[in-house]
Amino acid sequence: NVLIVKEAKKYVKDHFHEKITLQMVADAVEISYGHLSKCFSQMEGTSFNHYLLDFRIEEAKRLMRENLYPISEISYKVGIDDPNYFSKCFKKNSGLSPKEYVKIS
């Protein structure tokens, strides 16, 4: 189970900027969707989708600190195709809007 989750997390790291589903990751690590979901929850204490979103938000924060791209472009770079949805998720995750985060970082 540890190896399965490690492989799944590597897939997320390598592909977070693309569309990712649990099924795609399960196919990549060659196990069933349900088994991956169960392993991930047991090992990480969170769902796969929550982990993926957290990973994307952390990458967005890193990009915001570099200050090379507008916020709307950052949302696409981290695999979230809707800048409004990105802003909503970012605020829920970090307690700040993306613009507020950029100001303090």
How many residues are present in the chain?
105
Q: Which residue has the tokens 């997320």?
A: 12
Phi, psi for residue 50 in degrees, rounded to 5: -70, -40
Rounded to a whole number, what is the largest CA-CA distance in the chain?
Answer: 43
pLDDT of residue 8: 97
* Percentage of residues in the chain having pLDDT higher than 90: 97
Residue 69 is given by DSSP the state S
pTM equals 0.95
* pLDDT, tens digit, 9 for 90 and up, residues 80-102: 999 999 999 999 999 999 999 99
Q: How far apart are CA 78 and CA 58, in angstroms?
A: 9
Binned at pLDDT 50, 70 and 90, residue 105 comes out as confident
Going by pLDDT thresholds of 50, 70 and 90, the confidence category of residue 79 is very high
DSSP single-letter state for residue 30 = T
Q: How much is the average pLDDT of 66-93?
A: 96
DSSP code, position 104: H
Sorting pLDDT into bands at 50, 70 and 90, what band is 51? very high
**Quick check: 52 and 12 in contact, CB under 8 A?**
yes
Task: Tell me the average pLDDT across 8-19.
Answer: 97
